[in-house]
Amino acid sequence: MEAVVGLLVMLLGVSHGVETYCDGRQNRTQCYGALGGTVVLQLMDSASEIFKYQWNKNKTTAILHGRKDKIVSNEMKDRSIFTPSNGTFRINNLIRTDGAEYTLKIFDSNGRESGQRTLQLSIQAPVSSVRLDTGCLSQGEMRVSCSSEGGDSPQYSWTLDGHTLTDAQLLSGNKETNNITLKQDVSGRLVCSVRNHVSNVSKEEKISTCGFIFINCTLPDGTNISQWVFSATNTLCIDLTTTPTMITDTTDNSLLVCGLRAAVVLSLLVGIAIYFAWKKKKYNKVETSSRPRIKDHPENSFSMVEL
């Protein structure tokens, strides 16, 4: 079935467009190609100086035969090209069965084998797209899930504002997995990258906190409260709340209290002064009204009557 799919892809000229390169001049090299894409394998420096060479698949199936600059046979000629001048073998429209161990054998002019080396070619489907899903948990933590379409053996990595996520920002989960939980105060540009050996795709999303604040105070009855609460419905520590991100300025409050106290004391002093002034005025009035009046005419005085 994969061979038929590969043939259809080749005939229609359709390709994922992913091209990889691998230098196979070292023995036992690991190479990767993208499913439906192209791989360029460097088999040798140049074939012009090699008397005879043979490239086999899984040790038994002959793929390429050649003598110096002349290609004797190429069993994959429908979708591959060998360039003797630079020693590269290009395979297009890769299919799963292209993944195998390949062996290059070199012979001298006497027909004796003078060298041999192998390479392992693995075929992987490239990652096509990445999706991010976020959700708030009961205590204000944020659950983030990163999912990808396609892609064999995907590997995940996370960054926040261009920097790798730290353990201090994670409540749970590993920054190399596709599911993480962020702490309550984490916000910024979150990026999930998904990669394998033939592709690398990322997704960015701007995240903000879930609206929780951290309160830490002691109530009048001595109860200590230290926890994360939803800011919009919080009724705890209203006057005493202190949070890591919001510090109450006690200087202004102290000045206000002192001013109010001074105003109260001044009002009391003024009231007392007014009271005593009123009291004194009233006393003087009573004293004046009770004092006996002296008549202007001496004949009506007590002394005249006595005489």
Domains within the chain, CATH numbers bracketed: 2-124 (2.60.40.10), 127-207 (2.60.40.10), 212-250 (no CATH)
Q: In the chain, pLDDT over 70 holds for what percent of residues?
A: 79
Residue where the block lists tokens 């006595």:
306
- DSSP run (H or E) holding 260: helix 250-290
What does the pLDDT read at residue 280? Answer: 75
The Cα–Cα gap between 187 and 7 comes to: 49
Report the C-alpha gap between 243 and 234 in whole angstroms: 13
Q: What is the token pair recorded at 27?
A: 């023995």
- Chain centroid to CA 188: 7
CB 162 within 8 A of CB 89: no
Q: Quick one: pLDDT at residue 284?
A: 67
Q: 256-290 pLDDT, tens per residue?
A: 666 778 787 788 888 888 877 777 776 666 555 55
Residue/partner pairs of 104-108 with CB below 8 Å, 24 or more apart? 104/24, 104/43, 104/44, 104/53, 104/54, 104/55, 105/53, 105/54, 105/55, 105/56, 106/44, 106/50, 106/52, 106/53, 107/51, 107/52, 107/53, 107/54, 108/51, 108/52
Distances (CA, A) of 223 to 16, 242, 247: 65, 15, 21
- Is residue 228 predicted with pLDDT exceeding 70? yes
Max CA separation in the chain (angstroms):
183
Q: What is the mean pLDDT of residues 30-55?
A: 96
Q: Report the pLDDT averaged over residues 119-145.
A: 94
Residues 97-116 have a mean pLDDT of 94
Most confident of 43-52, 239-248, 281-290: 43-52
For the ranges 109-123, 153-167, 202-216, the lowest mean pLDDT is seen at 202-216
Return d(Cα 69, Cα 85) in angstroms, integer. 7
75-82 long-range contacts (CB < 8 A, ≥24 apart) are: 78/10, 79/6, 79/10
pLDDT at 252: 53
Among 67-76, 210-219, 224-233, name the one with the lowest average pLDDT. 224-233
Q: Which pLDDT score, from 0 to 100, does residue 232 have?
A: 76
Assess whether pLDDT exceeds 90 at residue 130: yes
146 pLDDT higher than 90: yes
